[in-house]
Amino acid sequence: MKKLLGLMIGFLVFLVGPAYALTVTPTSDSAILVDNLLGSGISVVSSAFIGAEGSAGLFSGAGDAIGINSGIILTSGQANLAVGPNDESSAGESNSFLGSATLDGLIPGYSTYDAAILDIVFASDTGNLFFNFVFASEEYNQYVGSNFNDVFGFFLDGVNIALLPDETPVSINNVNLGSNAAYYINNSVTAGSDGPVVASPVDLQYDGFTTLLTAQALGLSAGQHTISLQIADAGDYILDSAIFLQGGSFGGDDPNTNIVPEPSTLLLVGAGLLGLFRLRRKA
């Protein structure tokens, strides 16, 4: 019986696996970025990256922090800055890089800087496009409601599809502690203008981030389409923001239809199995 119990515990440890810390590997190679983002049902024709050295890259081990274990990261500063712990209230890196005219259009009267842009020309086998993402920023929470918060967008054939389920654009002003709070996770460790301090911040430098969101477009016309994934500083070069895009989720089928159970779910299943084992032993 003890041997059986040990095997069951070992199996649960195997399922849950060890906890990993976020790691980032910077790269500006668009082919590498797209290869790590691409799922099924999409054929990539070409890609290009525009941005400062170190502003984009691959990440892994972020599942405990943001709900996406691995994928690609685009930032308005340096990708390595994303790595926790959250030990700075105003982390940022100025790349002295150009902004984006497309993103400028989202904030009339203000300019963008330090843009990171990944352009992909593709065709969809299903006529649809899906991908999962999390937006994070050091602009939270103190710059909510201001004109100096960073901006991003996913421009599919020129139309932004970085939206909440009700089609509200995802931005610092639209997703925060007071607006669409169900889609926001506070990670601030600084009292005062940053809002409430969290007792146990996740292992991520940014002071706030969205829940896991899905960008989608249904019923695309046949042929090639272009999507431009963009993020930039707005108003100044100072604080950084990032987009985490889930690896393998950029596809023609909804990536959320076949979800692997989270470790907490597996632990509950394991607890049930152990309880059943004890009941049978008493019988």
Distance of CA 192 to the CA centre of its chain: 27
99 vs 249: CA distance, rounded Å: 27
Nearest in space to 32 (alpha carbons), one of 247, 222, 199: 247
pLDDT over 70 at 193, yes or no: no
For residue 85 the two structure tokens come to 């712990």
Residue that wins the pLDDT comparison between 247 and 145 = 247
Residue that wins the pLDDT comparison between 269 and 235 = 235
Predicted confidence (pLDDT) per residue in 19-42, tens digit:
568 999 999 999 999 999 999 999
Residue that wins the pLDDT comparison between 194 and 61 = 61
Residue 192: per-residue pLDDT: 61
Residue 278 is classified by DSSP as H
Q: What is the mean pLDDT of residues 250-274?
A: 59
Confidence of residue 75 (pLDDT cuts 50, 70, 90): very high
Q: What is the mean pLDDT of residues 50-67?
A: 96
C-beta separation of 179 from 154 below 8 A: no
Q: 1 vs 4, 7, 10, 282, CA distance in Å?
A: 5, 10, 14, 12
Distance of CA 269 to the CA centre of its chain: 28
148 vs 168: CA distance, rounded Å: 20
88 vs 152: CA distance, rounded Å: 23
